[in-house]
């Protein structure tokens, strides 16, 4: 039973352009071990026991990470599969946080609440209102958005001149997003706000990204989207995560379309490697399940 799920899991990753040979080998070893005990679902203790048979701590960690990722996939389809907590056998590097998906009504509520940010009667509340809206609509990094200049808004979209790793790219804009930016520029002019930065405060300069983070978290907490100070919750960067995941959800399920979509999204987001884009699949097992199901339908000749 486990081998059937593993075959589907490995095939999905290979259809996405990965070799996945080492992971396939490890998962087959795990299945042989677990099925020797009659397991038909992943079990946390069995994964621990299997990892403890490893020849080194490094191998144990690789086994654990591979089995855990598979467990996430399997659990998304059948809650009978158990998922162990992350990092039990150590971490090779600091893990990326699981993306928090922000719902459209939550984005709208945060944007509306931003209009009450002090000082009232100045450009600042409008700046945060439109800044958060742009991040949600384009998936830009906060540093990229705050580095935008007024002349970066061109006929074809937004020119991102100071992307990560020094990359420059052009971001296409939906008509509604362009209209929103033009409305913001009109508000700037009406309030007499100056400065070359696209998004400015009363000082005529873009707010520091730390300040933007603080404002966002404060509004999210005020609206009940985050817990008390010191607890994890919705972050400003989750607007970018949400954009990426929503984009992937619209991806057609056939192999060629997925590859093209991934490559295009990777360039759009300014990723150094398409592997960074694939992470959104690993981090969102329900999305991975949906694409797997659609791919299986196509394989069987059914309508997707």
- On the question of pLDDT at 304 being above 50, the answer is no
Give the pLDDT score at 269: 74
Where residue 278 falls among pLDDT bands split at 50, 70, 90? low
In this structure, what token pair is assigned to residue 53? 């048979």
Q: Say whether the peptide bond before residue 119 is cis (omega within 30 degrees of 0).
A: yes
Query: Which comes out higher in pLDDT, residue 288 or 194?
Result: 194
State how far the alpha carbon of 218 is from the alpha carbons of 13, 99, 120, 189, 221, in Å.
39, 19, 17, 28, 5
**How far is it, in rounded angstroms, from Cα 43 to Cα 33?**
12
Neighbouring C-beta atoms of residue 136, cutoff 10 Å: 23
Cβ 195 vs Cβ 148: under 8 Å: no
- On the question of pLDDT at 275 being above 60, the answer is no
Instruction: Classify 151 as helix, strand or coil.
Output: helix
Among 93-97, 117-121, 283-287, 300-304, whose mean pLDDT is lowest? 300-304
**How far is it, in rounded angstroms, from Cα 195 to Cα 204?**
5
**Nearest CA to 163 among 139, 147, 181?**
147
Give the pLDDT score at 57: 83
Highest mean pLDDT among 71-80, 95-104, 277-286: 71-80
- On the question of pLDDT at 20 being above 70, the answer is yes
Burial class (CB in 10 A: 0-12, 13-18, 19+), 285: buried
Where residue 281 falls among pLDDT bands split at 50, 70, 90? low
Phi-psi region of 197 (alpha: psi -120 to 50; beta: other; left: phi over 0): beta
- On the question of pLDDT at 80 being above 60, the answer is yes
**Nearest CA to 238 among 131, 166, 142?**
142
- On the question of pLDDT at 49 being above 80, the answer is yes
- On the question of pLDDT at 300 being above 80, the answer is no
**Nearest CA to 140 among 250, 241, 233?**
241
- On the question of pLDDT at 212 being above 90, the answer is yes
For the residues 41-63, what does the mean pLDDT come to? 91
Neighbouring C-beta atoms of residue 164, cutoff 10 Å: 13
Determine if the pTM surpasses 0.85: no
- On the question of pLDDT at 277 being above 70, the answer is no
**How far is it, in rounded angstroms, from Cα 197 to Cα 64?**
47
Give the pLDDT score at 303: 43
Where residue 110 falls among pLDDT bands split at 50, 70, 90? very high
Give the pLDDT score at 166: 65
Report the chain's mean pLDDT, rounded to a whole number: 85
**Nearest CA to 85 among 72, 103, 104?**
72
């Amino acid at each position: 039973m486990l081998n059937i799920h593993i075959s589907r899991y490995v095939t999905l990753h290979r259809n996405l352009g990965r070799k996945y040979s080492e992971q396939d080998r490890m998962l087959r070893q795990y299945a042989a071990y677990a099925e020797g005990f009659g397991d038909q679902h992943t079990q946390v203790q069995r994964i621990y026991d299997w990892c403890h048979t490893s020849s080194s701590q490094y191998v144990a960690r690789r086994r654990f990470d591979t089995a855990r990722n598979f467990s996430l996939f399997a659990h998304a389809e059948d809650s009978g599969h158990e998922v162990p907590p992350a990092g039990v056998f150590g971490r090779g590097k600091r893990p990326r946080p699981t993306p928090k998906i922000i719902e459209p009504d939550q984005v709208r509520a945060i944007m509306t609440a931003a209009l009450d940010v002090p000082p009232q009667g100045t450009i600042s509340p409008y700046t945060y209102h439109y800044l958060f809206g742009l991040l949600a609509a384009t998936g830009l990094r906060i540093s990229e958005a705050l580095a935008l200049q007024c002349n970066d808004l061109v006929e074809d979209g937004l020119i991102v001149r100071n992307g990560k790793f020094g990359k420059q790219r052009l971001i296409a804009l939906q008509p509604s997003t362009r209209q929103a930016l033009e409305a913001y520029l009109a508000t700037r002019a009406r309030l007499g706000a100056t400065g070359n930065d696209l998004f400015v405060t009363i000082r005529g300069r873009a707010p520091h990204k730390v300040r933007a983070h603080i404002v966002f978290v404060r509004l999210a907490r005020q609206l009940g989207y985050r817990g008390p100070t010191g607890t994890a919750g919705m972050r400003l960067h989750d607007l970018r995560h949400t954009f990426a995941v929503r984009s992937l959800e619209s991806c057609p399920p056939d192999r060629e379309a997925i590859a093209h979509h991934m490559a295009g999204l990777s360039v759009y987001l300014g990723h150094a490697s398409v592997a960074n884009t694939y992470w959104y699949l690993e981090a969102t097992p329900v999305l991975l399940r949906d694409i797997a199901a659609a791919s299986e339908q196509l394989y069987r000749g059914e309508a997707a």
